[in-house]
Structure 1
């Protein structure tokens, strides 16, 4: 068994892990090792924005998790893609740059998490960012992460924005600015028409530093502990090419778990940290009782409505050879057109009912349609109006069922188990349908393809939501930050009751943010790196 040593050992080269590797290795006196269970980001489709169609559900780049059959979804099991490569899910996601609402972070701070208010984290968002529109009160221009404007628009997309305006939603050019509410085009984590993943933005500039070592195909088995102090982490054991290896910490060093909302609680439980009964049932000896590990799972559930329209969409171009070749040529020559697009074109943050202070639903509009990403387009001119609830109240859990690190944990989202979520799902479908009846959009719509049974009553609409909803790939909160008995980390991301160990990824969110989760996770990496360096002084 080989053995290495490090001052900082980061597990997971995803959205937060790559940030940590960059920031912590900036001090040349500190040895940093980054372990990634996936491979290098060499697949060319990773770097083309529309390439997520090729990397999702691809076992070389996606862990291809599946949730357990869910009663809230009529017993269906959903695909749960997670990035299996340098950059993690930032290498296979839809490139959409969304921070969430100011109020999200203020709620975190109001729960006793010092330093996590919006005013605290805004400078970190700005530090990361190099925005195409330049620097202002809300955006940075000198950061590692390139954020760009959409490089392809269409008449049907403009009609979708105008339809939202008819519904009372203001137009916006910046939903990450003063207020989130509005309808406009998404901003993308892209640079010159290429994906700007966390690996490209943060890891690549640091790779040549002699004090940073990046190990791919290194699957973490468990944490290692001090024999005389069973609650002090001193290293990690991992598998690589079928062989077990260890990384041991230098005195004063730390392990930082950045393996995501699935991987981080899994590693904790495999190491004996979690709810005792769950660990014992899985065949793992209990080292430290921490009942919140793997609990509090939250995710955004999208209701994808599909319409046939009477104008050409990307379906027409992709389904025909010559137009498809034209799309490829346009991208090769100018880095523009449909291949420069992320998962969606138009973003709408709206209020589904009167009396709300902030938006509670988000639309992802696509000028294309398919049964799900990564498969063939529908044979007609189609658009997708996907709507999700921003702050679901349903809570699930993720837990191991065996002591083997290679075995996937069981994912139980409990979608639509909360009454508030059920009511919001019905309102969201009604809002989406009402948009198709506006003056702006009605002339284009031929028919509703999904749902295909014309549900009308609230009971029928809820049944529809249970039957057609899909995850939008935003799992969070399984190692929740807080001070109560169910919290896993404190406000400095240290695991309660364990020394030498932090968690820094989407799993620490007390509650899911009101929007896509990649940008907030990168911010968490920035925040964690600052706190780690401060605590070393």
Structure 2
């Protein structure tokens, strides 16, 4: 028996002889496992800590996005106290459910600019540029084109040459939009932001209506568990064990070489070891992939020794290079005539009506996802001389400390100096209150201007914690997540950019026709004095910045610098360990100007292709 194995079936799982084991049944992990199992000569075992949740409406219903955060489906991680945020610690949601974070995210489906991926290849990661990734981007997608009326009404433009058809993930434009979306494009156009009619073709700059990962007929979330795994669960060579908590990798020394031989895990209160005849693929995400490597003896010696772990492979970049999109949520009060999703949470009758409309017709507010998007470069509203001064300052600082100057940082500085047309900041507007800090007044309605920094200089780390009294760190302890928001010279640049970008966010909200439905800014509150006085957002930025839930880079590809620059090579093989690879968001060496889920699916597709290619070559 295979499929959704219960605790009573772990013996069946253990009885298999696996050629490959995938640790983590999340976004990329299920892609890798499912694609590998297309070869009948490969037998794949998947170990997933969460349970399946195919029928939970908090996951399946698009309009309920966000309701799973902080629940049993969330690992409920948190950052260390951040000095750059005034000492605040931020929650870091990650999916603990079959499908991983693809079951929790907000279903936004977009892609970065060509230059984002070409930068990965520039660092020395062959085949990871735009052209090398495009076939895998398209392979994952089954795009459903909107009709002419939908395009005209909602500006849902597209270029079919850059979309895939026949892939597992269903992508479609929303059937229902919030009241603000009808004003979005015209407002942005007035501010010199053009509508991008082909934002998947290598440039997402401009204003556009977002595509979503949703099935067109049932209007349910399309994600890794339902799109990749479930249709193929009956394959005899694709074997899943859920609620299996991985403790450690089994690494054995063969001569002078460490080899991945198996995985130690607990299930139903008992500890087990499963072996593989081939390879192990870690797909635990940017938080837990480095954590698993470290508890298994692969990482920075000082980190491992402090945690009581014997050093097997000195790999200095494990857990380093953490990059995250930083976000603010500015709240505005909107006109009473505007219908908002918040009403569905506070008004049982409205919620009942929306649920009935969804159940009967798959229409209405329960199908709506935030879709009003803008990506623009800083130069759209910041003078070039200011950007050049900031870039020059960073170059001067890097010369003082050669250890701090990296190819990654030089690419980021070049984007400031060269005034490239890249999406350095994202804006997303929706009629709901997304702020964890602002509590609205009864009877008033609100909307949110989300703002997300796309290419952060702030760079942090994720490591296992130090231990005392001879104890060893394990996967049971939550890792130390330290993004270092707004810290160091680069973090200072991030902070200055966020202030300037927030001023432009305020300008968007003050421009007609969007301004026609906005009563006033509510958070931060508008100045009760002179309306012409420039508002200082600096304190508010520091007090209200949150995570955008897009961490990457902690097991990144090393490129030209090898193990000194990363954790894996461009075929995703872990430096220093034979038979071990990583495939998830942690492999990305530089962040992209996009919500990452479509890219992570592409990473999974490319990873499976590389693994199968090497497997076939070894047996030729």
Normalization by structure 2: what TM-score? 0.82
Q: In structure 2, what is the Cα distance between the partners aligned to 1:130 and 1:187?
A: 12
Greater shift after overlay, 321-330 or 489-498?
A: 321-330
Equivalent in the alignment of 1:152: 176
Residues 124-150 of structure 1: per-residue CA shift (max 9 Å, x gap): 111110001188210011111101101
Equivalent in the alignment of 1:500: 579
Out of 465, 486, 490, the position equivalent to 2:569 is: 490
SS in 2 for 1:384: strand
Mapping of 1:329-408 within 5 angstroms?
Answer: 329-342=356-369, 344-354=370-380, 355-372=419-436, 379-401=443-465, 403-408=473-478
Q: In structure 2, what is the Cα distance between the partners aligned to 1:512 and 1:107?
A: 10
**Which sections of structure 1, spanning at least 5 residues, go unmatched?**
none
Mapping of 1:306-325 within 5 angstroms?
Answer: 306-310=331-335, 311-314=337-340, 315-325=342-352
Structure 2 residue 471 is matched with structure 1 residue 446:
no
Q: State whether residues 313 and 383 of structure 1, in contact with CA within 8 Å, keep that contact through their aligned partners in structure 2.
A: no
Q: Shift of the alpha carbon at 1:163?
A: 1.7
Structure 2 residue 150 is matched with structure 1 residue 125:
no
Q: In structure 2, what is the Cα distance between the partners aligned to 1:457 and 1:350?
A: 26
Q: Shift of the alpha carbon at 1:97?
A: 0.6
Q: In structure 2, what is the Cα distance between the partners aligned to 1:528 and 1:374?
A: 42
**Which sections of structure 2, spanning at least 5 residues, go unmatched?**
1-9, 147-158, 381-418, 468-472
Q: Shift of the alpha carbon at 1:457?
A: 9.1
Q: In structure 2, what is the Cα distance between the partners aligned to 1:103 and 1:407?
A: 38
Q: In structure 2, what is the Cα distance between the partners aligned to 1:290 and 1:501?
A: 14
Q: In structure 2, what is the Cα distance between the partners aligned to 1:117 and 1:86?
A: 30
Residues 410 and 345 of structure 1: CA distance in aligned 2, closer, same or farther (over 3 Å): same
Residues 457 and 115 of structure 1: CA distance in aligned 2, closer, same or farther (over 3 Å): farther
Residues 262-291 of structure 1: per-residue CA shift (max 9 Å, x gap): 010000000010000101111111111001
Q: State whether residues 109 and 212 of structure 2, in contact with CA within 8 Å, keep that contact through their aligned partners in structure 1.
A: yes
Q: State whether residues 313 and 382 of structure 1, in contact with CA within 8 Å, keep that contact through their aligned partners in structure 2.
A: no
Q: In structure 2, what is the Cα distance between the partners aligned to 1:356 and 1:454?
A: 35
Q: In structure 2, what is the Cα distance between the partners aligned to 1:35 and 1:532?
A: 18
Q: In structure 1, what is the Cα distance between the partners aligned to 2:105 and 2:165?
A: 23
Q: Shift of the alpha carbon at 1:27?
A: 1.0
SS in 1 for 2:30: helix
Q: Shift of the alpha carbon at 1:535?
A: 0.7
Q: Shift of the alpha carbon at 1:161?
A: 2.8
Equivalent in the alignment of 1:529: 608
Equivalent in the alignment of 1:77: 89
Q: In structure 2, what is the Cα distance between the partners aligned to 1:378 and 1:339?
A: 22
Out of 46, 60, 78, the position equivalent to 2:59 is: 46
Out of 563, 585, 588, the position equivalent to 1:509 is: 588
Equivalent in the alignment of 1:239: 266
Equivalent in the alignment of 2:388: none
Q: Shift of the alpha carbon at 1:40?
A: 1.3
Out of 119, 122, 126, the position equivalent to 1:107 is: 119
SS in 1 for 2:329: strand
Q: State whether residues 18 and 202 of structure 1, in contact with CA within 8 Å, keep that contact through their aligned partners in structure 2.
A: yes
SS in 1 for 2:161: coil
Equivalent in the alignment of 1:409: 479
SS in 1 for 2:330: strand
Normalization by structure 1: what TM-score? 0.95
Q: In structure 1, what is the Cα distance between the partners aligned to 2:297 and 2:259?
A: 13
Kindly report the root-mean-square deviation, in angstroms, between the aligned alpha carbons of the 2 structures. Answer: 2.2
Which of the two has greater strand per residue?
1
SS in 2 for 1:365: strand
Residues 524 and 436 of structure 1: CA distance in aligned 2, closer, same or farther (over 3 Å): same
Residues 111 and 178 of structure 1: CA distance in aligned 2, closer, same or farther (over 3 Å): closer
Equivalent in the alignment of 1:430: 503
Equivalent in the alignment of 2:405: none
Q: Shift of the alpha carbon at 1:246?
A: 1.1
